[in-house]
Structures are given as structure tokens and as C-alpha cells.
Chain A
Amino acid sequence: MSELGFTPNEMMTIAASRALKGDDVCFVGIGAPSAACNVARLTHAPDITLIYESGTIGTAPDVLPLSIGDGELCDTAVTTVSVPEMFRYWLQGGRISIGFLGAAQLDKFGNINTTVIGDYAHPKTRLPGGGGAPEIATSSKEIYITMAQTKRGMVEKIDFYTSFGHGEGGDHRQRLGIDTKGPTLLITDLAIWKPDPETKEFTVVSLHPGVTRDKVQETCGWTVKFADTLEETPAPTELELNTLRDLKARTDAAHKGEAVGAKRGSKDG
């Protein structure tokens, strides 16, 4: 905890939650996106529809799920459909307004790698792979990405294009016949980024309280572009912070209760 009274990760989750609206239909990735989506639901967007790829539509979990298929997602959902129906009718059918993704490796055009570090055939590190993300990235009307900044994570060139963002930038999506917007927002633990309207390169538009330009650059592997007028992200309100902390406390208690030792964070599943 800093002297600001909140951590960079809390600021990231809360800034991400603010981007969601009550009428959004959001396809939720596990981990940071899941926390942000549920904070939105518990604060300013109670009517938001949250969808997890296990087939749960309109879910409202009391605690954050450890995997995308936890039973509580089904218990609290409006309906639960099969996995083919989820991907065909609801995602491919164009019914998702926001796909909310995390990333192992990200480049400045919002392309995501979750497949391998190194060469595909002879990888240095074999990561889990794409799961639902390749089609979430192109079939959702737009994409929000959230991740904590590191030089290993935010790189000039990703090792594998698991999920397409803006490709090489500009009109690359349109040239491939992709008619959805792609990444429109990146929320990190330090800043809010939006793609340049022409080049599509992510540009810092808002620094979180107490964050400097140098700090953003030090934890990013490409040369960072900053908007001409940089805003400061409003600090978390008491309601936002309490909601997030209560949610995390309930989640920790629940996971301890059901599984001694289940104390580490979640990853995509």
C-alpha cells in the first residue's frame, strides 16, 4: 500500500470497472478482468450482463471464481448454455459488446500472445494457448485489455499472434475483413491507454494518481507515446475501494473454506 491509500492493482481494477456500462454485455476473462467486471456490477452498473466462456450468461457471483467454470457462476446465472452455443449464437452471433481480456504478452497495437515464448515448434516456454480469446478478440464489438505493466509483458514484438488486435496498425483489421473495433482501451496499473485514431498505437491518455511518465516508460518495452493533454485518473472512491476489498475478502474466505492452500491468484482457464 502506498501513501495514497490504495495499491496500483486496486487502481487498475477500479479504473477498468469504470469503463463498463450497465447496458454492456461483457465476455469476461478470468483474473483481473473478472474482478473489474464484478466491481462494475456491484457499483455503478448493476444491470451489466457478464458472460463467462463456460456458458454462464448474466452471472452474478458473490465471490470471484477461481476458474471460468466454477459452480457459482451457473447458480447465479440467468441461463447456462452449452459451449458450442456460447461461441456460435452469443459470440459469433454478434451479441457481445465488450470482450475483456488479459495478456501474457502485449504489443503497442493490442495484439496478444498467450501461446508460446520463443519459436512455436520449439518453444522456450509453452503457455496454455488461446482458449476463447482468438474469436473473442474479433467477434466482440470492442475489446478492453487489462494487465499490470512489466517489460516482459509489454513488448515491441510479441512471439506469437494468439489474438489479433490492430495487427501492424492503421486499417489492418479492415484489410483482413474484420468489421469489429478491436482493442479500444488498455488499463494498466499505471495508466489508461487508448489507440491513436489513425495509427492505432496505444497512447497514454491518463496517468493514475502519483504515477510519472518515466515510471510508465520504465515498465514498458516499447517507446511510449503520451497524449498532448494528459489527464489524471480520479483516485478510487471509498465506495469503489470498499466494494473491491469486500469482494476480495469474500473470495479469499470462500476459497480458504473450501480448499486449504487456495490462496494464489487466478489465471485464464
Chain B
Amino acid sequence: MTKFLPLSQAVADNLNNGDTVAFEGFTHLIPTAAAHEAIRQGFKDLTLVRMTPDLIYDQMIGMGMARKAVFSYAGNPGVGLLRRLRDAVENGFPHALEIEEHSHAAMANAYEAGAAGLPCAIFRGYRGAELAQVNPNIKSVTCPFTGEVLAAVPSVRPDVTFIHAQKANKKGDVLVEGIIGIQKEAALAAKRAVVTVEEVVDNFDDLHPNLTVLPNWSVTAISVVPGGAHPSYAHGYYIRDNASYLEWDEIAADRDRFREWMQENVIEKSADDFAARVEHLRNVA
């Protein structure tokens, strides 16, 4: 059975130095508040797993929290490159970063295999792709029935996954709707799943029966953080803050400006500050 906890406690209870952790969200519902809490608590030596690392991994890498990144698209969606990640890969700043790079299809299959309790994912992929030569975790298997050679990658089994969702009910069941991405698979693939939500409602009685729901017993902890996906969006609540994504490109381009921004907007702030950040994005949602 899940527990409703303040975000600071949910993060402290479920994340450890050296963990393999996924903060998932495919453009939509990115768990920024949870990532910022992890930054404030100053974890080290993390293996960060995510299909599209995005701003929050740029921030965690820039703060020196990551030993390794596992990803399939290291970009700032809609804008361009991730400059802190680039600085780590190209210049070893603030320290060297090990990378394990995949395609989206591979990562999606690897999460699904993790959720399904399998050791690896098998799919038709990486044909002619050079990643297969630089990533030793991309191998192949031969279909025992047809002889077709297929790609194989290890499943993703994070120690803990953090996701953001629209709502929980009072029992702790979780609803995700809109672009549902990879969150259900990422939560079920992990040993522990922590969910931040926009709000808690009494029940889900009036909802369509097939809307994505994680039953309360599949979720370790829930924290209520309105606006917790900003600058990404929560379908039905607020829209994507594209200006923040564009601004990030400039902030992250400079090491000093990055540290100052992190100090002012993350270190000296708390989860309670997120609600105000989406106020101007709500009326158009």
C-alpha cells in the first residue's frame, strides 16, 4: 500500500547514493519537482536512466550528481542540445560521465521488459546503426523459429523510478492521461516507484475504465506537488512553458550562470514553489 508523504521525505526514503534511477516523462509530465528535491538533497554517483534526458538531467549532471547516463535522445526538445551534458561528455566537466546510448525503440523495449520481469528485450532494431558498435550492451539473438537475427538489450530495472501524474485518489491509485509515454513501464520496472501528482481526488468512479491507472499497491509513495512538472506540462492542467526551454539553452551554456541559476531556483527553493510557476500557463490549458 502506498504512502502519502511530503516530497522531501519521499525522496529521502527512496533514493540513495549510487542508485540507478529513472525520472521519466516523454515531453509531457516530467517530474521536475522530484528531480529538484534530489538535487537539494545532494545525491552522488547516480546512474541516470531516461529516454530523453531533458533539462532535469542536464541539471543533475551539471551539479556533479551522475556517474553514468543511459539515454536515447540527449536533446532539449524543441530547442537543441543539452549543454551541461555536452560539457561533461566533451570536457569531463564537472567530472567525466559514462554514457550508455540507445535508440528510443531499444529503451522503450527495455523498460517494457523490465516491467515484464524479463532479463532482456528483443526487437527488430539497430540494423546498420553504428550504436551497435560503440555500445557493448547492444547484442543480437537468433530467433529459434525463423532464424531471423534480432537486437537484444538488457532490460531496464531501476532501483527507483520517479514520475509525475495528473491525480491520485484517496486510496493512492494513480491516473495518467494524455501522452502517456513510458511512465507506466518505468514505474513497474523499478523496485520502488514514487509519484508526484497535481491533486488528490476522492475517487475515480466517473472516469473511463481504461484510463491508465497504477493501483496503489504498485506505488511506493505519492507526493502532492501542484505544478510539479513545470516547465513541461500536465494535460488538462497547464501547458508547456516553451519560454523556459528556450531560456535554459542560454543558462546552461555558461558554467557560472548555470550555478547561479541552480542556487537561486533550485537550492534555495522548495516543492511548494512549483504551483506559482504554472499559474500563467493554466488559463490556456
Contact = CB atoms under 8 A, between A and B. Distances in A.
Interface of A: 30, 53-56, 65-71, 73-74, 80-84, 86-88, 91-92, 115, 120-135, 137-139, 160-164, 167, 172-173, 176-178, 255, 257-262, 264, 266-269
Contacts of A138: 124-125, 127-128
Nearest to B27: A69
A69 B124 contact: no
Contacts of A65: 78
Contact of A129 (B72, B233, B235, B245): B72
B90 A87 contact: no
Interface of B: 26-28, 51-52, 71-82, 85-86, 89-90, 101, 103-105, 108-109, 111-112, 123-131, 134, 148-149, 178-182, 184-185, 233, 235, 239-247, 281, 284-285
Q: Looking at B78, B86, B108, which has the most chain A CB atoms within 10 Å of its CB?
A: B78
B179 to A, nearest CB: 5
A133 B179 CA distance: 20
B126 A83 contact: no
Contacts of A162: 129-131
Nearest to B82: A128
B136 to A, nearest CB: 13
B83 to A, nearest CB: 10
B89 A176 contact: no
13 contacts: A55-B180, A67-B78, A69-B28, A70-B240, A74-B235, A82-B182, A82-B185, A126-B86, A129-B72, A130-B129, A135-B103, A135-B105, A267-B79
A73 B243 contact: no
A152 B126 CA distance: 26
Nearest to B181: A83
Contact of A54 (B28, B79, B81): B28
